[in-house]
Structure 1
Amino acid sequence: MIGGRNITEITYFILLGFSDFPRIIAVLFAVFLVIYILTLTWNLSLIILIGIDSHLHTPMYFFLSNLSFMDICYVTATAPKMLYDFFQEWQTITFVGCVVQYFYFFFSSLGLTECCLLAAMAYDRYVAICSPLLYTAIMSPTLCLQMVLAAYTTGFFGSLIQLCALLQLHFCGPNIINHFFCDLPQLLTLSCSDTLFFQVMTSVLTVIFGLMSVLVIMISYGYIVATVLKITSAEGRSKAFNTCASHLIAVTLFFGSVTLFYGSGLLAYLHSSAGYSPGQNVVSLFHGVVSPMLSPIIYSLRNKEVKDALKKLRKEADVHSVSYSSLN
């Protein structure tokens, strides 16, 4: 009952996905399947490598393993459903499934937690470069664990607040979402409730999380740059900057894709009654599917410690292979 009127609540949504490209469905399926498998393989491999190599048992790699875990969860939130829907005549998702996907994905503990983790990694680099003699004492295992738990907890409760607000909205038709997942701008345009409060609350939470993370990162790197510039040796400056390079690339990749995603979503909501922008699918794919695949590549290629750990692992594998061959 809304405004004194009986309204039939819809129980499912229709996802149009990539139905505009019927001739290349098989190609798209193959491409996204490969991306999904590579994302799982590379991130899981990085987590295992960090776990088995004692030289990587440092705060930076502890945060990195959690970031890889986030990327695995991030892409799993939408990719399996998207791949399954490629060959379905009717690509539907229940209202409950849509709410769960929303809670688990962009405004969920995943997106919000990743912001917090990137800020924690920036603080770790600040301590490592600006206070190297106190690094071990400051970045203790206890503090690192507390920072990670705080990131997960903060992200979860920030998401829970938005989930509770989303559940107060009513949907009475139409129920067509021109996307491959339950996108927020389109959900708002499909709702027959007043969404002003939800939009304001979501904007406030997004600004708080995003702004706080960006401020921590900017302040940390402000001190880092000032410290590095005081180093007289060119080799020393280069080494110091190299320790931050992979994190800076990851930060740029994450916040750049987030900005593109929310920017395209906002434009779609403001300029289309259907809440759809032709380029939004592409931006969403990059943010939610491609970006998680690139993170482990960035850290693997930019970190000497990771390269050394991989070489060591290969040598051990070769030794075991030779020993096994000689026994046979």
Structure 2
Amino acid sequence: MSESATGSRVRQDVITESETERATRLVSRVSAIFGERVVGQDSLRVALISTMLAGGHVLLESVPGLAKTTAAQTLAGAVSGTFHRIQCTPDLMPNDIVGTQIFNYATNEFSTQLGPVHANFVLLDEINRSSAKTQSAMLEAMQEKQTSIGGEVYPLPRPFMVLATQNPIEEEGTYVLPEAQMDRFLMKEVLTYPTPNEEVEILELTSAGAFEDPIEHQPITLDDVQFLQGLVSRVYVDLSIKQYIVALINTTRGGGPRPLPNFHQHVRVGASPRGGIALMRVAQAVALQEGRTYVVPDDVKKLRHPVLRHRLVRTYDALANNVAPESLVDAVFATVPTP
């Protein structure tokens, strides 16, 4: 490629000021709508919006009643997207999610009935209650962005985002989600209880019927979401930032520029290259939300826990001693020099 052609491509990829301003307005509207329906949970809001902008999927873990379903419905409504909720149970079959062929006796022909996975936003409630076979079918749809029914391929809507939930306190009737499958999720967000003041606000708004009122802000469109996703991929990532991310990922494997002593006693398997890609994509999404067209180290650090907590396979000793994955991630970030 000639130098002029290369220069043209670089100029074309530079995000303009008008594009940045439009992105800021769109993200602000989504955040405002989220705030109308979900009290507090700022980390959840940032995680969901960042996941959507990066074109990934998110795994939500919490005890029941912390507005996971409300947050998913609100996000779908904020971008004018279709929303389907799938309650996972042990007897849920792959066809119940993907779809199936139905024989019409009147015409002697098969017709295809698409499953609930064919929506812009799909909430998989209690994914760890479904069998491994059903989990695999869903994760295949997440990865391939398409389903296969009766030999025919049906593309999923764009954008497409899965929000899977799991309950950490229930074990009876659950199937553990394997680490290799959890790695498919861009982020794993762990929800916490609201503060007392936030809980009082929830009761006040419930008493006033505010959650039933129409949304005040105008939702954005699916085309706007695709514009934002295209913009995220154009956010500039300097070579030094990429080297920083690679150093972080290698440190989780026991290597890196400054290997952590005895780290292998806590972590059996570190993050894969997919973890590095996730760190970079999420950092680009964070930078865009901050109104910047380039990534800084703080963008990489901001969502380090949701991006990496489910990618570190802890040893039995670490599990027995209740060593939190977040503390291991912090140790990695503390030892790797910031560019």
Normalising by the smaller structure, the TM-score range is under 0.3
Flag the structure with higher helix content.
1
In the superposition, the TM-score normalised over structure 2's length comes to 0.21
In the superposition, the TM-score normalised over structure 1's length comes to 0.21
**Structure with the greater alpha carbon radius of gyration:** 1
Greater relative CO, 1 or 2 (CA 8 Å, sep 6+): 1
Flag the structure with higher strand content.
2
